[in-house]
Structure 1
Amino acid sequence: MKSKLNFTKASTILALVASLGSLYIVYYQTNLMGKQFELQRQQQYTSVFPYISLANTGNQKRYGYLISNTGIGPALIDEINIHYKDSVYKNHDLRAAFVNIITKEDSLFSSYKDIGHSTVRTGTLIPADKIIEAITFSSELDKIGVERRRALRGWFNRKLVIEVIYSSIYGEQWRVTSVSTAPEKIKSLTD
């Protein structure tokens, strides 16, 4: 009877150890799966990294201001703000800046009421590898045309600061300005 009791105790202890071992293996596998899921999620976020840049373009007869997405994945425009002197024009596209600021401040453009443009506002989605010519200005090669192109370039390069706040499809958010060298992340997924 004593050996039967020891065998029962040994069987119980062995079953308990096996159960605890199985429980540990399930916990370990679950933990590994969680880490693998997190790595996959991070890979998805980095595979959708929009990169907005702002630049001038032009030749002897025309001037253009570009907003381009050279990153991976679409960029959703959250805000475009124009900074001029001590004022911030919230959610203005570049055409509105031309009409509301430049035509009023610069006598070269006082007779202009409009300019070639592509509307880029809050809610605009810029696909990857897309370049949008936000402002276009064509003129003759005469003296006044050259002055206007030069003046417009000066406005967009030195007098106005253009700020674009945009998001990835996962909600990460960046800010880029016409005076910055690269976008700055302002909101992560962990915020």
Structure 2
Amino acid sequence: MSTSALFVSVISVIALIYQSSLAREENVLIQTQQSASVLPHLSQWFSSSGGFKVVIGNKGVGPAFIKEVNITYDSIHHFNNTDNLFKHIFKTNHSLDSIGSTTSTFKKGYVLPANETIELIKISDPEGINIFRKILNTKSWFYSIEYEDVYGTRWELSSLGDTNVPRRISKD
């Protein structure tokens, strides 16, 4: 009798260990699915619909929490938000003095909801569009935007690569 009780106990412990292992694997799969269900996906583009626009959009399924914005203009001027960038461009290019534009602030702390866009700048005047595009084409400008999903996974969208695809930043 004691041998059979010992045998049943050993089998029970093995079954418990196996069940715990399966539960751990299931938990990892659930976490992966949850992360994918809230994944933000930022991209940047230019639009000529209704004027000239510089746009950043979140084409993902979750919000993007902006953690860092770094913009380099003309290789020597560094900005951490779009307001200061456009103020500098308009201040140093007098040909833009009489051109109307609409700008939006994009900086650290901003939250871009899923399927939303932000127009960083919009210029409607055709002459102003030509002048502004010429300035953007003659001066170098690069950006890097770091953002997180709701689980704290960090991503970077940068104009320094060949594509407009965010890359995951490893956690330290």
With normalisation by structure 1, the TM-score equals 0.78
User: Which of 70, 83, 99 is the matching residue for 2:87?
Assistant: 99
Q: Equivalences for 1:64-75 in 2 at 5 Å?
A: 64-75=53-64
Q: Whose radius of gyration is greater, 1 or 2? A: 1
Q: Give me the whole-angstrom Cα distance separating, in 2, the residues matched to 1:98 and 1:79.
A: 18
Alignment partner, residue 65 of structure 2 = 76
Is contact 1:62-1:149 (8 Å) kept? Answer: no
- Tell me the CA shift for residue 107 of structure 1: 3.3
User: Which of 154, 161, 166 is the matching residue for 2:137?
Assistant: 154
Is contact 2:104-2:119 (8 Å) kept? Answer: yes
The count of aligned residue pairs is 170
Q: Equivalences for 1:36-75 in 2 at 5 Å?
A: 36-59=26-49, 62-75=51-64
Unaligned runs of 5+ in 1: 1-10
Query: Residues 25, 146 of structure 1: CA spacing in aligned structure 2 closer, same or farther, 3 A cutoff?
Result: closer
Is contact 2:148-2:154 (8 Å) kept? Answer: yes
Query: Residues 62, 91 of structure 1: CA spacing in aligned structure 2 closer, same or farther, 3 A cutoff?
Result: same
- Tell me the CA shift for residue 32 of structure 1: 0.7
Q: Give me the whole-angstrom Cα distance separating, in 1, the residues matched to 2:36 and 2:155.
A: 14
Cα RMSD, aligned residues only: 2.3
The Cα offsets for residues 81-112 of structure 1, whole Å up to 9 and x where unpaired, read as 1112443624222x320112x12443322x36
Unaligned runs of 5+ in 2: none
- The structure that is helix-richer by fraction is 1
Is contact 1:99-1:114 (8 Å) kept? Answer: no
Q: Give me the whole-angstrom Cα distance separating, in 1, the residues matched to 2:27 and 2:51.
A: 51
